[in-house]
Homo-oligomer: A and B are copies of this chain.
């Protein structure tokens, strides 16, 4: 099966009515790759999915489905466009740590950004001028430090964050916009130029099939990807009961950090941030505050980040987490090993090893076992013996 057939099988699987994230994962875990699911036959499929769905997956592809698959393959063949499956190495490792990673992602632009350490910046669509400026400034500093800024292409804070971070320099973190529509559509319409620029210098990402219009219920669900792609979420301005607080909540559920910018007690747009701070989010006054926290997470430093930090905080200690990550990753095998053993194997201190393991675990590269030992994380659908 070549790449195109393989992708066609993935598309047929996820485009089949009744196959949600959960069902797709169950089928992949049981049968292996989508080609194997589709050739498993009705009797085998019927044992784990409803009869109607088993029939749809085992029968012939109908015309409408085939047209959709062909159109998507044609779209994916255009320069800069990508359809990324759970089995691809380009699939963002960070998403493997969330409860329901989408089986398929549509991407437009620099998919190398999907493996960058990332921070989400979200906030109100009706932001103040100061809030927009804050978002833009934080995003610019983070991007210059090699951290990718993730947001949702919405008006207000989202747009300001994308604009501040958008940068075609390969060392920069640039930006990822996770949309709630198919990637052949832009919502909101007035962000057409911004989306075009992100496709050039950053990356547009969606789990929704091409042609999916703006449906209200898709946006809160999309938020789990914004936080899931990121080590943490920064909320810049947010009213109480806003979408940004949903993103913050999903960040907490995913074990991500939550950061919030405080403001005047008389500003309704500060109330969401204040609520988050009271609930345990970290109050931040500058992008440096965030980078210090991320360094606590053992986040690797890129050359660009080192440059930005040299400008912003001349006394910062030289980061060496990248090399440490590689050393620990080499030391971790497929058999469980304790932190002490890994320290001995890698020649690093126990606390350095712990820091790096936390990062690797968040990146989905290692797995922490209930007894506290670690082993390499094996990608579920790459296990062909399943």
A: residues with CB less than 8 A from B are: 130, 134, 261-266, 270-271, 274, 277-278, 282-286
Taking A274-B283, A278-B283 as given, write out 5 further A-B residue pairs in contact, using a Cβ cutoff of 8 Å, ordered by the A residue number.
Answer: A134-B265, A265-B285, A265-B286, A274-B285, A277-B277
Determine whether the beta carbon of B265 is less than 8 Å from that of A277: no
A143 to chain B, nearest CB (A): 19
Minimum distance in angstroms from A173 CB to a CB of chain B: 21
Count the copies. Answer: 2
Of chain B, the residue at the smallest CB distance from A262 is B262
23 sampled A-B residue pairs with Cβ under 8 A: A130-B264, A130-B266, A134-B265, A261-B265, A262-B262, A262-B264, A262-B265, A262-B270, A262-B274, A262-B283, A263-B263, A263-B264, A264-B264, A265-B284, A265-B285, A265-B286, A271-B285, A274-B283, A274-B285, A277-B277, A277-B283, A278-B282, A283-B283
Contacts of A282 in B (CB 8 A): 278
* Cα distance, A130 to B266, chains bound together (Å): 10
CA distance A284 to B265 in the complex (A): 8
Which 6 pairs show the lowest CB-CB distances between chains A and B?
Answer: A262-B262, A265-B285, A277-B283, A278-B283, A274-B283, A274-B285
User: Chain B's nearest CB lies how many Å from the CB of A381?
Assistant: 43
Give bound CA distance, A270 to B267, whole Å. Answer: 15
